[in-house]
Amino acid sequence: MKILLAVASYLLGSVPTGYLLVRLFFKGDVRDMGSGNTGATNVLRVKGWKTALPVALFDVLKGFLPVFLASRWFGDPAFAALCGLLAVVGHCFPFAIGFRGGKGMATSFGAFAAIAWAPALACLGLFIVIIALTRFVSLGSILAVLAFPAVFLIGRGHAAVAAVSFAVGVLVVVRHRANIGRLVRGAERRFGERAS
């Protein structure tokens, strides 16, 4: 049963929400627009809030649901966190569209919220503050996702869960490597800037 849920976690994560909505309503491939990612930030830049908001909400749900169900059905926090990691992997590398997905932030937040809502909200607050100060979504994403394991441990969370959460953070940072390069060069787009 755990194996089935683990596979289902990846499959749910791999539903390419941004790709599907842009394909459905605009007859285009979001991977050929803006940054080329299927996540909500790129959809926001190229198609606006009305398309990006449902993408963000569903991407959060993709991370939340596997962790929530694993926790309820098995009572194993480390396995539940692993299901969250698999959902993020699915979001970043969706098999149905050639393993070219998003960067995993919204799905990570959903997983973190199901693991421990208070640390997740604290990291969401950090994310918002960083964006308010710098207008760099990528910087806010990187700092917030790396902060979660530390905040979770400070709150006396399970070490194995923190380790899996850190792996989620590493994956998200790796997916942001191009953004990191642009941040260093001073060429990163700021929040609100539209892409062609």
pLDDT tens, residue by residue, 118-162: 999 999 999 999 999 999 999 999 999 999 999 999 998 899 999
120 is a domain residue = yes
Range of the domain at 146: 2-185
User: Which pair of tokens denotes residue 114?
Assistant: 């199901």
Best CA proximity match to 144, nearest among 99, 104, 182: 104
Provide the whole-model pTM. Answer: 0.94
The SS3 call for residue 68 is helix
- Among all chains, which residue has been given the structure tokens 């937040």? 109
pLDDT of 196 strictly over 80: no
179 is a domain residue = yes
Tell me: the pLDDT tens digits for 53-106?
999 999 999 999 999 999 999 999 999 999 999 999 999 999 999 999 999 999
193 is a domain residue = no
**Residues 37 and 118: beta-carbon distance below 8 Å:** no
Segment (H or E) for 50 = helix 49-74
Domain count for the chain = 1
User: What is the C-alpha separation between 79 and 74, in angstroms, rounded?
Assistant: 8
User: What is the C-alpha separation between 37 and 119, in angstroms, rounded?
Assistant: 27
194 is a domain residue = no
Rounded to whole angstroms, the maximal C-alpha distance in the chain is 48
196 is a domain residue = no
195 is a domain residue = no
191 is a domain residue = no
Q: Which amino acid would we find at residue 3?
A: I
